[in-house]
């Protein structure tokens, strides 16, 4: 398979080189909007404009990562390097494949990025945005031109999240050529092979872009091999001068072996070892969207975006505690049957967004609002009895799952924000959002008569509001601040009893709270850029389980507060004096965050008389107190070299802040760590590039999380030292 990909690539390279030499005098050139910022600081991090795609970003904390300027291991979606200059981003790094990104900010959980509203080109890509907001699909970073990060105040425009929004922006077709081609071929440690090949272009009114991506490796840990295939195609057609139609389709499929967790003793002895060789995971994902953009006038714009997700989540394996060996049955001389779990997702949605520019007291103001309709369906089959084999096989041997549930979600929303321009320097941005959410659930949690659940429906109406502001201090520096309510709907797992004896509180509330930001950002000439700010996140109605009348009772158990500092500063000292230094240029960056995330209220009446058992004033689990990333990049003509260091503080993995790990490795404090990376790129002969790097330069032994279930109970090691080399071309 690898030889086939290389052969196809070489043949295509030869063809494209020949094509690029042909006469192209008949080209039709379609130019996109270009924003020129005089004397602007050249960096990988930019900011969102006041409004884009009928969404208002003025007064919000935003970062835009420009992938074409980054020295990083894009072949394995190394999020530690890609998000290095976004302060406060915590990352779970137990998956060296890069298939699933696990990121969070401000003391929230990085579990498959579920505290962010994750999107691709503006539409949802999570499993189910309300009931199961985990993201199993992450696009290959080589396909991206930008990653937009909007913090918590994005809830007014995007809905259910405390963390904010991650929007992956895929590349577009070359506006100046009817046909262009790019390729990137990467090899690396532990059998890594990655190939990315894309075509795109613009012909008259049609613009298009498509890519094929494949990555495979044996993996740094034992029993961690993986194979992934991703394909994407988009087409944009300018129907009239005012109407544009865009269509996209993405298909991703992968198979990943899960090495499981370790006890702390096993981790200390050999963190590359694995005691699970029969555990596998796969998540086929298909996502499509259709967008209509209508410039009604110079002041009024309408956008209608419809999207659909058809996807699965499949796992098979031996899922018991790591202290329980996966042994061969002495009678049958075979392994015991494995557990099979399967989810099916079908989600459909439409967002209509409109923006209106109008004069108010002689100043231009902007209104942006819209409507959303969403329907999600999840079929969850778990505890199936699988085969005794060791390969990826979802076959059932008893033809019935031990648990089978169906969930449906309906959501209607209306939202609006407005930029009021006060004088020449001040913007005030109030906003409001209304959501109607309906959840339905039916099925059984075990095959006994008592395990059958009565069909249940829950509806609620949620109103969010907020206000932001932005004050221009100089032409390139601003003070910004915002406050907005946020919420997180009750998830499917929280609505489902884990046993027939567990009781779900009929008055279970969605998590609610607010985000607040205050900061100072901007640039000084072409040598300094910065964004330094404070944040405060109130997270109420956290859900947990306590004992009531001798039975487990799932209810809202308490509130937490996260507050702290987020700071990003980058400076190029040589440019203070000159823009033309014959020995090149160098920039230094510091991305720092200090996070104080603690529980401030604990609603468990069973321990009210014993303050020693309360979690009040305990640190929130998975929330490091500091995340510091430093780095430097040296530039000389087409050559650049980057070094960075990432330091993350220790974390607790349970609300009780247990210090000593338990025997199974599922609970206990995780020590802080420091990881260093180095990478370089060299562009030559205009069309070609050479890239290479070393991840975890010092081969640091570290872990970022503990798992209680998937992907295997226990302490999850981060990858050791790996190396990659990549060569690419564009025609």
330 vs 475, residue with greater confidence? 475
| pLDDT value of residue 10 | 44
Q: What separation in angstroms does the CA of 356 have from each of 53, 154, 295, 417, 716?
A: 12, 20, 11, 11, 50
The CA-CA-CA angle for residues 419, 306, 157, to 5°, reads 25
Q: Which residues contact 578 (CB under 8 A, 6 or more apart)?
A: none
| pLDDT value of residue 362 | 87
User: 87: number of CA atoms within 13 Å, CB side?
Assistant: 27
Portion of the chain with pLDDT greater than 70, in percent: 92
528 vs 507, residue with greater confidence? 528
What is the token pair recorded at 139?
A: 């696009």
Q: Which residues contact 685 (CB under 8 A, 6 or more apart)?
A: none
What is the token pair recorded at 622?
A: 């998975």
Portion of the chain with pLDDT greater than 90, in percent: 77
| pLDDT value of residue 456 | 87
Write out the CATH class of domain 2-22+40-730.
Answer: mainly beta
How far is 179 from 450, CA to CA, in rounded Å? 63
| pLDDT value of residue 31 | 41
How far is 116 from 123, CA to CA, in rounded Å? 13
How far is 695 from 721, CA to CA, in rounded Å? 6
DSSP reduced 3-state for 110: coil
Q: What are phi and psi of 12, to 5 degrees?
A: -70, -40
Q: In the predicted model, is pLDDT for residue 415 greater than 50?
A: yes
Beta strands in 549-623 (DSSP E): 551-571, 585-602
- Full-model pTM: 0.92
Which residue, 492, 505, 499, is CA-closest to 128?
Answer: 492
**Does residue 711 have a cis peptide bond before it, meaning omega lies within 30 degrees of 0?**
yes
How far is 6 from 171, CA to CA, in rounded Å? 23
- Residues forming a β-bridge with 684: 688
Categorise residue 403: left if φ over 0, alpha if ψ from -120 to 50, beta otherwise: beta
- Residues forming a β-bridge with 365: 358
What is the token pair recorded at 328?
A: 């061969």
Radius of gyration over alpha carbons of the chain, in Å?
26
How far is 23 from 20, CA to CA, in rounded Å? 8
**Residue 439: its H or E element:** strand 426-444
Report which DSSP code applies to 44: S
Question: Rounded mean pLDDT of the chain?
Answer: 90
Give, rounded to a whole angstrom, the gap between the first and last alpha carbons of the chain.
Answer: 25
| pLDDT value of residue 710 | 80
The CA-CA-CA angle for residues 268, 273, 274, to 5°, reads 120
> For the chain, which residues make up each domain, given as ranges?
2-22+40-730
Give the total residue count for the chain.
731
Q: How confident is the model at residue 29 (pLDDT cuts 50, 70, 90)?
A: very low
What is the token pair recorded at 289?
A: 């969207």
DSSP reduced 3-state for 694: strand
Mean pLDDT of 670-694: 96
Chain mean position to CA 403: 29
Under 8 Å between Cβ of 96 and 90 = no
How far is 631 from 645, CA to CA, in rounded Å? 6
- For every residue of 279-326, DSSP letters joined together read -EEE--EEEEEEEEEEE-SSSEEEEEEEEEEEEEEEEEE--S-TTS--
Mean pLDDT of 465-472: 96
138 vs 333, residue with greater confidence? 138
DSSP reduced 3-state for 334: strand
User: 616: number of CA atoms within 13 Å, CB side?
Assistant: 11
| pLDDT value of residue 19 | 37
**Helix, strand, coil percentages for the chain (3-state, nearest 5):** 10, 55, 35
Q: In the predicted model, is pLDDT for residue 38 greater than 50?
A: no
How far is 491 from 239, CA to CA, in rounded Å? 41
- Can you say whether the dihedral through the CA atoms of 271, 275, 277, 281 is positive or negative? negative
Q: In the predicted model, is pLDDT for residue 290 greater than 80?
A: yes
Which residue, 252, 234, 246, is CA-closest to 172?
Answer: 234
611 vs 252, residue with greater confidence? 252
446 vs 41, residue with greater confidence? 446
**Count of CB atoms within 10 A of residue 21's CB?**
9
How far is 380 from 426, CA to CA, in rounded Å? 51
- Residues forming a β-bridge with 346: 310, 377
Q: Which residues contact 282 (CB under 8 A, 6 or more apart)?
A: 253, 254, 255, 256, 312, 314, 315, 392
Which tens digits make up the pLDDT trace of 600-614? 988 766 555 556 667
Which tens digits make up the pLDDT trace of 536-583? 999 999 887 776 677 778 888 889 999 999 999 999 999 999 888 888
Q: How confident is the model at residue 333 (pLDDT cuts 50, 70, 90)?
A: confident
């Amino acid at each position: 398979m690898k030889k086939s990909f290389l052969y196809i690539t070489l043949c295509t390279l030869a063809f494209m080189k020949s094509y690029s030499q042909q006469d192209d005098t008949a080209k039709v050139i379609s130019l996109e909007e270009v924003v020129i910022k005089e004397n602007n600081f050249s960096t990988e991090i930019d900011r969102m404009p006041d409004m884009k795609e009928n969404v208002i970003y003025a007064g919000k904390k935003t970062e835009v990562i420009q992938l074409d300027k980054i020295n990083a291991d894009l072949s394995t979606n190394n999020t530690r390097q890609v998000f290095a200059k976004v302060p406060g981003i915590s990352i779970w790094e137990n998956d060296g494949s890069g298939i699933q990104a696990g990121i969070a900010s401000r003391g929230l959980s990085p579990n498959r990025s579920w505290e962010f509203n994750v999107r691709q080109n503006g539409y949802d890509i999570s499993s189910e945005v309300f009931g199961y907001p985990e993201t199993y699909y992450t696009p290959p970073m080589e396909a991206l031109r930008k990653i937009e990060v909007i913090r918590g105040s994005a809830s007014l425009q995007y809905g259910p999240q405390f963390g904010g929004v991650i929007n992956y922006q895929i590349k577009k077709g070359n506006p100046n050529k009817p046909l262009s081609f790019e390729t990137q071929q990467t090899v690396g440690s532990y059998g890594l092979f990655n190939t990315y090949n894309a075509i795109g272009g613009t012909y008259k009114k049609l613009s298009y872009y498509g890519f094929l991506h494949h990555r495979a490796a044996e993996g740094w840990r034992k029993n961690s091999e993986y194979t992934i295939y991703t394909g994407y195609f988009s087409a944009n057609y300018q129907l009239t001068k005012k109407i544009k139609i865009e269509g996209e389709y993405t298909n991703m499929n992968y198979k990943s072996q899960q090495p499981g967790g370790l006890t702390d003793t096993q981790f200390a002895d050999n963190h590359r070892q694995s005691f699970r060789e029969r555990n596998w995971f796969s998540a086929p994902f298909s996502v499509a969207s259709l967008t209509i953009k209508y410039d009604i006038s110079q002041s009024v714009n309408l956008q209608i975006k419809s999207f659909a997700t058809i996807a699965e989540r499949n796992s098979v394996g031996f899922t018991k505690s790591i202290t329980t060996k996966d042994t061969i049955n002495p009678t049958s001389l075979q392994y015991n049957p494995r557990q099979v779990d399967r989810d099916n997702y079908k989600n459909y949605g439409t967002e209509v967004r409109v923006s209106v520019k109008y004069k108010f007291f002689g100043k231009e103001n902007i209104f942006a609002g819209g409507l959303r309709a969403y329907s999600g369906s999840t079929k969850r089959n778990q505890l199936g009895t699988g085969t005794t084999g060791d390969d990826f096989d979802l076959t059932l041997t008893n033809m019935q799952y031990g648990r089978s549930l169906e969930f449906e979600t309906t959501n209607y929303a209306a939202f609006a924000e407005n930029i009021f321009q006060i004088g020449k320097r001040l913007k005030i941005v109030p906003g409001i959002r209304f959501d109607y959410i309906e959840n339905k659930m039916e099925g059984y949690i075990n095959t006994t008569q008592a395990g059958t659940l009565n069909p249940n429906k829950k509806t609620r109406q949620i109103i969010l509001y907020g206000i932001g502001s932005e004050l221009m201090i100089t032409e390139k520096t601003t003070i910004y601040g915002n406050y907005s309510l946020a919420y997180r709907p009750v998830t499917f797992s929280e609505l489902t009893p884990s046993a027939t004896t567990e009781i779900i509180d009929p008055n279970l509330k969605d998590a609610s709270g607010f985000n607040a930001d205050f900061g100072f950002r901007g640039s000084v000439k072409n040598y300094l850029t910065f964004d330094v700010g404070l944040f405060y996140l109130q997270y109420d109605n956290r859900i947990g389980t306590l004992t009531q009348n001798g039975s487990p009772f799932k209810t809202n158990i308490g509130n937490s507060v996260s507050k702290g500092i987020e700071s990003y500063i980058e400076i190029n000292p040589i440019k203070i004096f000159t823009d033309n230094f014959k020995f090149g240029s160098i920039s230094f960056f510091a991305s720092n965050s200090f996070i104080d995330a603690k529980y401030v209220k604990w609603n468990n009446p069973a321990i009210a008389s014993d303050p020693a058992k309360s979690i009040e004033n305990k640190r929130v689990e998975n929330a490091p107190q500091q995340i510091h990333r430093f780095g430097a990049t040296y530039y000389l003509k087409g050559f650049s070299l980057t070094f960075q260091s990432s330091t993350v503080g220790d974390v607790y993995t349970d609300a009780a802040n247990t210090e000593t790990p338990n025997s199974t490795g599922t609970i206990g404090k995780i020590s802080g760590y420091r990881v260093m990376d180095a990478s370089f790129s060299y562009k030559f002969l205009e069309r070609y590039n050479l890239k290479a790097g070393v991840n975890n330069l010092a081969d640091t032994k570290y872990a970022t999380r503990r798992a209680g279930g998937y992907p295997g109970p226990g302490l999850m090691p981060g990858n050791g030292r790996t190396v990659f080399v990549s060569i690419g071309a564009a025609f």
